[in-house]
Structure 1
Amino acid sequence: MRRKRKTEDSNMKNILFASSECVPFIKTGGLADVVGSLPKDFDKEKYDVRVVIPKYMCMKQEWKEKLEYITNFYMDIAGQSQYVGIFRLVHDGVTFYFIDNEYYFSGFAPYDGDPKWNIEKFAFFSKAVLSILPVIGFRPELIHCHDWQTGLIPVYLDNFRYLGEYYRGIKTVMTIHNLKFQGVWDTKAVQKITGLPDYYFAPDKMEAYKDANLLKGGIVYADKVTTVSRSYAEEIKTSFYGEGLEGLMNARANDLWGIVNGLDYNDWNPDTDYRLAKNFNISNFRRNKPANKMALQEELGLDQDSHVMLIGIVSRLTDQKGFDLIDYMMDEMCQDAVQIAVLGTGDPKYENMFRHFAWKYSGKVSANIFYSDDLSHRFYAGCDAFLMPSLFEPCGLSQLMSLRYGTLPIVRETGGLKDTVEPYNEFEKTGTGFSFTNYNAHEMLNTVRYAERIYYDKKRDWNKIVERAMSQDFSWQNSARQYEELYKSLIGE
């Protein structure tokens, strides 16, 4: 019996996630949710998945107090010797490592307004990730890198392989969460920061349009490249979505995977969510979900009416999320028998647009120009529909949350929205939401009005769509199985 256990252990594959952010420690966006949630859902018999992130001074004190100091050493970066401290914490069954250096990580936020400083900070982090491995006694078969901040890890790994046997054979996966952000700066400056030889700063490697590009380096040198939905993986091969790297994405097409992000189905569960006025599930939502609408209407100062269609928006208020379309059609939508509630911050012109309409249509429009996680849960539970007309959307989590809570998404068919929301077909009685194809304000309005018609005139059909929406499985377990298949293709069983 003991011998069998030893064999199983020797087959265990070590995976290291490297990221600039991770819940619950530090978060600015969806990247943190992925890195914090996904490692918990791998098969623990086959994979030892650990995570490494920077030890930011702006992390909450409650987390900093729990960290266990391991050791420190010094490492050359940007022409000087820098302290590298290593801390550890086991949380939810996952081991997290924190790389400490107050010079780089003492800011009030993970990212600075100065792009050159960000590049130096994450060049330090990327080199440190590889440098700590012999010290912590954890040699990964595979390092899973996330976004441009870790793009230098595959590049440094290629360079480190010449230094000794230890780093040979380690595979890398580069996940692109949003191709728009690439970590670009002057080539000479990046070469000086990284200390990498001229060889790496060529057009077929890290150079792009005369500048050094950290994400490009990661894509070129990683063994596999993934992004966060199948449709986005196809879209980034085109000039419209490719952000200048479409040629490279086509060149790496055989190594490019699209795997949709998941949701933490324990946190996002309408049946147990403590933030709601009344819990509900797929069998009792007809009776219990309206109570959440009434409570939300009261909380937001909207006219209380359980029958009126309430459309919710929880988002960063930016062009990428399609707010120019909403801006163009907001007055027209407000003529309909609907209420509109928004939660989020962003571009001041959109913040002020929603404030204006909340004043103009008092009781009918609610503008909540801030962000609250608790309130977002009540939005997903209390609204009837969720509007998300994005220009592009690598994956998107909001539509997954709205599906989970039986709030039907109205989306544009792009990226992850196209992959996760099946448009309603009233003849075949299929679909989990509503969608439109072209980035066009009138097309969006027509789709909103089509959803209104189903809501008011075909309530039985609407409730059947809600049932299908709530029965979808976009849990992390689903995503983890697909990542396991990817890992197997590189490092075997």
Structure 2
Amino acid sequence: MGTDKLAVLFVASEADGLIKSGGLADVARALPESLVSLGQDVRLSIPGYSNIQGLYEAPVVLKSELDFWPHTPYQVRQLALGEVVVYAIECERYFDRPQMYAEHNQAYIDNGERFAFFSAASLDMLPKLDFKPHLIHANDWHTGLVPYLLRQRYRENPYFQGIHSVLSIHNAVFKGVFSYDELRCLPEFHTKHVPEAAVSASHVTMLKAGVMTADKIVAVSPTYAKELTTELGSHGMGREFQQRSADLVGILNGCDYQMWNPKNDTLIPTNYTDEAQSLAQGKSDCKRALQERLELPTEPHAMYGMVCRLTHQKGIQYLTPILSDFLQHDVQVVIVGTGELAMATQLRAISDQFPDKFKFIEAYDNELAHWVEAGADFFLMPSEFEPCGLNQIYSMAYGTLPIVRSVGGLKDTVNDMLLDSANATGFVFDEPEPDKLLITMLRSLLLYEQNPQWILEVQQRAMNKDFSWHNAAQHYLELYHSALAKESLYR
């Protein structure tokens, strides 16, 4: 196999345009599309969830069963995302369900078995479809068993000789921890002795299985790659990431500027560019429209937006203690999101207390997310940890200055005016403490009130930052070639 044009199987549990719950889906669509645009043969494998739109109209390209016990029957339908061929692996017992991972906030009790099967089938189908990739790119815990099975199950199989693997870590807090008994669909786990995956005598983690057996591991930002080698930043897997540190790199996720661009965004009330007059007028129009939509007073006060899941990861616990104090000023705050009940209850109470200054919309609303990005002056991301983060990148594209904590991809993408005024694109604080967030928000408000010309210059600089997937894809190609040059773990 030559390496001028790489054949890659990208394996993920979701992909935007077919089915989505979070940022992994954005990457699973954008990165393969960008690699194809660079001349590579990249194909995507995802579970054939019954609620994928158009699934049952797609042609069946394979009907088979696993070659290994328990010989589970499955079939593969071929779809497309742009120029990317998509293999949707159907198995009614695992994927004919209302949701992907959970119902009513309860994870499916057989998730370990479901994604162990998906990992096994993603490999099992390759010779049957006559597609031999140079490299398989797995993503997060759901597909952590792909590198493991490639190494263990197919070590002596001639068809799989020379195929290398890469594992992306999008969020290491989710590890896929299951008992050996929950993974009995894999004969390799019947011995109840799999040191590459074990976290105790009775349990394994699918993420660890991938980390310990993939040829290369990639975190979704350079800073997150460093954080993964620490006990705190790795969420308990620091030792494993330290062992693999020579093969661990960080590549910043890209931004899909076709979806997030105020110049041609069809979801926002007014389009605008980074030209000073267009920017000022466009954001003013979008702010007024957002105020009217949310029944806020149409005043030219600084507006702070936040769109996120209500979880500790997103730093809501740093915001709620100081939000009432901040709302004593001439400001407006809009938060859109769903998640933990206690956090939602706190935000509703503050919203009731300040109806003319704070709106909490407990919903997942993509259009409203675009309105917030365009209408707000500042975007809040005080995350406890953030492997990459995309909203700070979207915000900069819209001239909405991000207020972030100095972690993960936030640290890699946002420059603070105090540290680097000439290259400032937002506001950054370090310590995970509510008062440090409040001080940073007040800094931004003071500049908004006293130096609007400087704010405009920073907005223009932020809009001119380029975090395109084309650049990220070039780095992934370099990573793939370094994986192929590596002495295979499978010999």
Question: Given the two structures, how large is their TM-score scaled by the length of structure 1?
Answer: 0.94
1:286 paired with 2:280, answer yes
AA paired with 1:86?
Answer: V
Q: How much does 1:193 deviate?
A: 2.5
Provide the secondary structure at the position in 1 that maps to 2:423. coil
Distance between the aligned counterparts of 1:467 and 1:117, measured in 2?
49
Q: Which residue of 2 aligns with 1:20?
A: 13
Task: Give distance in 2, aligned partners of 1:66 and 1:115.
Answer: 27
CA contact 1:180–1:243 (8 Å) conserved in 2: yes
CA distance in structure 2 between the partners assigned to 1:35 and 1:162 by the alignment: 27
- 2:231 corresponds to which of 232, 236, 239: 239
Q: Which residue of 2 is the match for residue 267 of structure 1?
A: 259
Distance, in Å, in 2 between the alignment partners of 1:132 and 1:193 is 17
Extract unaligned runs of 5+ from structure 2. 486-491
From 54, 60, 63, the equivalent of 1:72 is 63
* CA deviation vs aligned residue, 1:262-302 (integer Å, no higher than 9, x gap): 11111111000111111001112022221000010000111
Amino acid across the alignment from 1:275: L
Identical pairs, percent:
35
- What corresponds to 1:87 in structure 2? 77
2:244 corresponds to: 252
By how many angstroms is 1:240 displaced? Answer: 1.1
Matched, 1:140 2:130: no
User: Secondary structure of the equivalent of 1:81?
Assistant: coil
CA distance in 1, matches of 2:452, 2:21: 39
8 Å contact from structure 2 (residues 11, 122) kept in 1: yes
Q: Counterpart of 1:92 in structure 2: which amino acid?
A: G
Given that residues 379 and 403 in structure 2 are in contact (C-alpha distance below 8 angstroms), is that contact kept between their aligned partners in structure 1? yes
Cα 1:17–1:392, aligned 2, differ >3 Å: closer, same or farther?
same
1:121-148 alpha-carbon deviations (Å, 9 max, x no partner): 0111001000100111211000000001
The answer to whether the 8 A contact 2:113-2:182 is kept is: no
Q: Separation in 1 of the partners of 2:427 and 2:216?
A: 34
Residue 358 of structure 1 is matched in structure 2 by 351
Cα offset, 1:47, TM superposition: 1.1
Question: What SS does structure 1 have at the residue aligned with 2:338?
Answer: coil
Hey, what's the Cα distance between the residues in 1 that align with 2:89 and 2:267?
35
Partner of 1:442: 435
* Contact preservation (8 Å) 2:70, 2:185: no
User: Which residue of 2 is the match for residue 297 of structure 1?
Assistant: 291
RMSD: 1.9
Q: 2: CA distance between counterparts of 1:429 and 1:71?
A: 57
Aligned 8 A contact 2:141 2:176 in 1: yes
Residues 383 and 109 (structure 1 numbering): CA distance in 2 closer, same or farther, change over 3 Å?
Answer: same
Determine the structure 1 residue equivalent to 2:95: 105
Aligned to 1:3: none
Are 2:379 and 2:402, in contact at CA under 8 Å, matched by a contact in 1? Answer: yes
The one-letter code sitting in structure 2 at the alignment partner of 1:296 is: L
Deviation (angstroms), 1:427? 7.6
Is the aligned partner of 1:49 residue 2:42?
Answer: yes
Alpha carbons 2:218, 2:251 under 8 Å: kept:
yes
**Aligned partners of 2:381, 2:362: CA distance in 1, in Å?**
17
Q: 1 CA distance for matches of 2:373 and 2:230? A: 33
Amino acid at match of 2:89: I
State whether residues 70 and 86 of structure 1, in contact with CA within 8 Å, keep that contact through their aligned partners in structure 2: yes
- Show the 5 A alignment for 1:202-217: 202-203=194-195, 205-210=196-201, 211-217=203-209
SS of corresponding position for 2:270: coil
- 2:85 counterpart SS class: strand
1:224 to 216, 221, 227: 216
Separation in 1, partners of 2:347, 2:243: 43
Query: Which residue number in structure 1 is paired with residue 488 of structure 2?
Result: none
Q: Secondary structure at the match of 2:265?
A: coil
Residue 342 of structure 1 aligns to a residue in which SS? strand
Tell me, yes or no, if the aligned pair for 1:115 and 1:183 is still in contact at 8 Å: no
Q: 1:373 aligns with which of 366, 371, 377?
A: 366
Secondary structure at 1:472 match in 2: coil
Q: Which moved more, 1:66-75 or 1:140-149?
A: 66-75
Please state how far the C-alpha of 1:10 moved relative to its aligned partner.
8.1
Question: Who is 1:321 aligned against?
Answer: 314
How many Å apart are 1:430 and its aligned residue? 2.7
Letter aligned with residue 274 of structure 2: I
Equivalent position SS for 2:272: coil
Q: CA deviation at 1:327?
A: 1.1
Which of 467, 475, 481 is the aligned partner of 1:482?
A: 475
Aligned residues: 480
Q: 1:114 Cα shift?
A: 4.4
State the secondary structure of the residue aligned to 2:389: coil
Q: CA deviation at 1:197?
A: 5.7
SS in 2 for 1:400: helix
The alpha carbon displacement at 1:334 in A equals 0.8
115-124 or 380-389, which deviates more: 115-124
2: CA distance, partners of 1:100 / 1:225: 28
Provide the rounded CA distance (Å) in 2 between the counterparts of 1:280 and 1:437: 33
The equivalences for 1:448-487 within 5 A come to 448-487=441-480
C-alpha offsets along residues 13-64 of structure 1, whole Å, 9 cap, x if unaligned?
101100110111111111001001111112546411110101101223xx22
Q: Which 10-residue stretch deviates more, 143-152 or 105-114?
A: 105-114
Offset of 1:72 from its aligned partner? 0.6
Shift of 1:347: 1.0
Deviation at 1:213, TM superposition (A): 1.2
CA contact (8 A) 1:310 1:340 kept: yes
Deviation at 1:198, TM superposition (A): 6.7
Q: Distance in 1 between matches of 2:158 and 2:67?
A: 21
Tell me which amino acid in the other structure corresponds to 2:200. Answer: Y
Secondary structure of the residue aligned to 1:132 is helix
1:45 and 1:235 map into 2 onto residues whose CA distance is 31
Letter in 1 for 2:55: K
Instruction: Supply the distance in 2 between the matched residues of 1:427 and 1:105 (Cα, whole angstroms).
Output: 50
Q: Which amino acid aligns with 2:287?
A: K
What runs of 5+ residues in structure 1 fail to find an aligned partner?
1-6
User: Is the Cα–Cα contact under 8 Å of residues 115 and 185 in structure 1 kept in the other structure?
Assistant: no
Q: How many angstroms apart in 2 are the aligned matches of 1:127 and 1:134?
A: 13
**Amino acid of the residue matched to residue 84 of structure 1?**
Y
- Report if the CA contact (8 A) 2:36-2:83 is conserved: no
Shift of 1:369: 0.6
Q: 1:351 to 1:427 in 2, by over 3 A?
A: closer
SS at match of 2:246: helix
Distance 1:480 1:75, change over 3 A: same
Match of 1:276 among 268, 277, 280: 268
Q: Is the 8 A contact 2:270 2:282 kept in 1?
A: yes
SS in 1 for 2:28: helix
Q: Is the 8 A contact 1:160 1:167 kept in 2?
A: no
- How far residue 471 of structure 1 moved from its aligned partner, in angstroms, is 0.5
Distance 1:65 1:424 in 2: 53
1:442-467 CA distances to partner (integer Å, 9 max, x unpaired)?
Answer: 00000000000111101111111101
